[in-house]
Copies of this chain bind each other. A is one copy, B any other.
Amino acid sequence: MSLQIIPIKTQKEIGLDANLVDLILESSEINDGDILVFSQKIVSKNEGRVLSLSSVNPSLLANGIASSYGKDPRLVELILSESKRIVRMENGIIIVETKHGFVCANAGIDESNVQDGYATLLPDDPDKSANLLKDRIEQKTGKNIAVIISDTFGRPFRLGQTNVAIGIAGLEPILDYNGKPDTFGKIMQVTAIAIADEICSASELVMGKVQKCPIVIVRNYNFSSSDAKIQKMLRSDHDDLFR
């Protein structure tokens, strides 16, 4: 059976008062087993994680970093305030570990697709955001679904960014083949697929950056139900050869 990646488009600008569940139901039905993928930006906007840069008072450190990097000191202040560790700071690039544990540029803060002079921050607790959306959709539709919140991260070694999961609700994010036989009956080792990230990447192909498509339905993917948290996808510092 084919997998379907279905875009949910909207012309509306999403604010605190928007009802994301109604937004979906206006343009599509939900089936049992659907996975709903939300862009980080729509969730952040809906949760009020949008800050006016004029409200930010940069620290001495933020001013120092900003001046040597040619960045806006208020943006640097926001990045530092959302981070628990600076992983790399070179060539004008700031890679941090966010308070959630994500290793990404600028703590996931950005100024695209938001009003001039404002920046969006990642949701405070993206798993909680995903669970709230899941509950509301399930209550309204009576269907069993999963929810993923997706953001666009760069990566080492390869050029271009891809979408990955930053919050999950209702699905097992890793498909672990360890100990299972391959097609020759040989027991597989070290094979564990980050399916939640792959689902986000698949969704990005229709979500895009300028298509006004903040939500995607992934249909016909047979996932395992789970209460797993996004933490399960994050490599610990100790197991990471590149941190």
Q: Which residues of A contact B (CB under 8 A)?
A: 1-7, 88, 90-91, 93, 95, 102-103, 111-116, 152, 155-164, 173-175, 177, 180-184, 186, 188, 191-195, 197-199, 201-202, 204-206, 208-210, 212, 221, 232-235, 239-243
Contact = CB atoms under 8 A, between A and B. Distances in A.
A202 B152 CA distance: 15
Given A3-B4, A191-B152, A199-B205, A103 B186 contact: no
B194 A158 contact: yes
A106 to B, nearest CB: 10
B152 A184 contact: no
A131 B159 CA distance: 22
Contact of A182 (B152, B164, B209, B242): B209
Contacts of A114: 184
A158 B162 contact: no
16 contacts: A91-B241, A95-B241, A102-B157, A111-B186, A113-B186, A116-B184, A152-B191, A155-B156, A156-B242, A156-B243, A158-B164, A159-B234, A161-B192, A162-B201, A188-B209, A242-B242
Contacts of A91: 239, 241
Contacts of A194: 158-162
A158 to B, nearest CB: 6
B159 A174 contact: yes
Contacts of A177: 209-210
Interface centre among A186, A193, A206 (most CB of B within 10 A): A193
A192 B158 CA distance: 12
Nearest to A189: B112
Contacts of A102: 157
A191 B90 contact: no
A3 B192 CA distance: 25
Contacts of A156: 103, 155-156, 235, 240-243
